[in-house]
C-alpha cells in the first residue's frame, strides 16, 4: 500500500517537472534613474509596465530601492513557441509620489541583451524621471508700463480681458 503511494507521488512529481519549460521564460532586467533626486533616493514602490505587441496581457513590476526591476515579459504562448521577433515597450507608470517626465525618458523599447543569457532583455534607452515639474506651469507677461502712470505691473492686468458691450 505504501509503495503504491510513493510510486504515484513520484510519477506526479516527474510529470510536473517535465511540464516546466525554463527556456520559454523571457525576463526583462533593467534599472531607471531620477534626474533631480538626492544621492540615496528610495525608488521602491515605483511601478513599471511592459506591453508587447499582439499580446493582450500587461506585465507590471515594482522597483527595488536602487531602481532595479525584473519582470517576465507578457508573451502569447497560445502556440507554445517563443516569438521570432519581440516588439515590447517598458514604461514608468507611477509611484507613491508624483513623478514627472517626458515621453522619451519614461518609455523605452525592450531589446535582447547581447552578452546575457538566452532569454535576457533590457531597455534600449535608460528610463528616467523627475520629482519636480521641469516646465513652468504658467508664464506671466510683463509689458513695460511707464512709472509715471502709477499702475501695478502689467502681469496683474493682462490675463483679464474685460468685455465691454455697447448698449
Residue 74 included in any domain = yes
Q: Are 27 and 41 in contact (CB under 8 A)?
A: no
Question: If you average pLDDT over residues 72-88, what whole number do you get?
Answer: 67
Q: Is residue 36 part of a domain?
A: yes
Residue 116 included in any domain: yes
pLDDT in tens, 94-146: 888 888 888 899 999 998 888 766 778 899 999 999 988 766 555 556 677 77
In a domain, 13, yes or no: no
Phi (first) and psi of residue 147, to 5 degrees: -65, -25
Q: In the 3-class helix/strand/coil scheme, how is 133-166 assigned residue by residue?
A: CCCCCCCCCCCCCCHHHCCCCHHHCCCCCCCCCC
Residue 4, pLDDT > 80, answer no
Domain count, the chain: 1
In a domain, 7, yes or no: no
Tell me the DSSP string of 53-69: TT---EEEEE--TTSEE
Q: Looking at residue 110, which CATH number applies to its domain?
A: 2.60.40.10
pLDDT tens profile 30-70: 999 999 888 888 999 999 999 988 888 899 999 999 999 99
CA Rg value for the chain: 28
CA distances to 24, 27, 75, 88, 154 from 115, rounded to whole Å, are 18, 14, 22, 20, 61
Can you give the pTM of this predicted structure?
A: 0.63
Residue 147 in any domain: the answer is no
pLDDT, residue 63, reads: 93
Domain span at residue 39?
A: 22-129
Q: What's the Cα-to-Cα distance from 162 to each of 85, 140, 165, rounded to whole Å? A: 60, 18, 9
Going by pLDDT thresholds of 50, 70 and 90, the confidence category of residue 87 is: confident
DSSP H/E element including 121 = strand 120-123
Question: What's the confidence (pLDDT) of residue 117?
Answer: 64
Residue 94 and residue 48 in contact, taking contact as beta carbons nearer than 8 Å = no
Q: Does some domain include residue 115? A: yes
Amino acid at each position: 500500500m505504501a509503495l503504491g503511494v510513493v510510486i504515484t507521488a513520484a510519477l506526479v512529481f516527474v510529470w510536473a517537472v517535465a511540464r516546466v519549460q525554463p527556456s520559454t521564460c523571457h525576463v526583462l532586467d533593467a534599472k531607471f534613474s531620477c534626474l533631480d533626486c538626492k544621492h540615496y533616493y528610495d525608488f521602491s514602490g515605483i511601478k513599471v509596465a511592459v506591453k508587447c505587441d499582439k499580446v493582450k496581457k500587461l506585465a507590471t513590476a515594482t522597483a527595488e530601492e536602487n531602481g532595479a526591476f525584473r519582470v517576465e515579459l507578457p508573451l502569447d504562448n497560445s502556440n507554445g513557441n517563443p516569438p521570432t521577433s519581440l516588439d515590447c515597450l517598458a514604461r514608468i507608470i507611477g509611484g507613491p509620489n508624483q513623478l514627472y517626465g517626458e515621453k522619451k525618458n519614461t518609455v523605452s523599447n525592450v531589446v535582447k541583451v547581447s552578452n546575457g543569457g538566452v532569454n535576457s532583455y533590457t531597455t534600449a534607452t535608460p528610463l528616467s524621471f523627475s520629482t519636480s515639474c521641469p516646465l513652468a506651469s504658467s508664464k506671466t507677461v510683463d509689458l513695460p508700463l511707464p512709472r509715471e502712470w502709477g499702475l501695478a505691473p502689467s502681469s496683474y492686468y493682462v490675463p483679464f480681458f474685460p468685455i465691454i458691450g455697447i448698449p
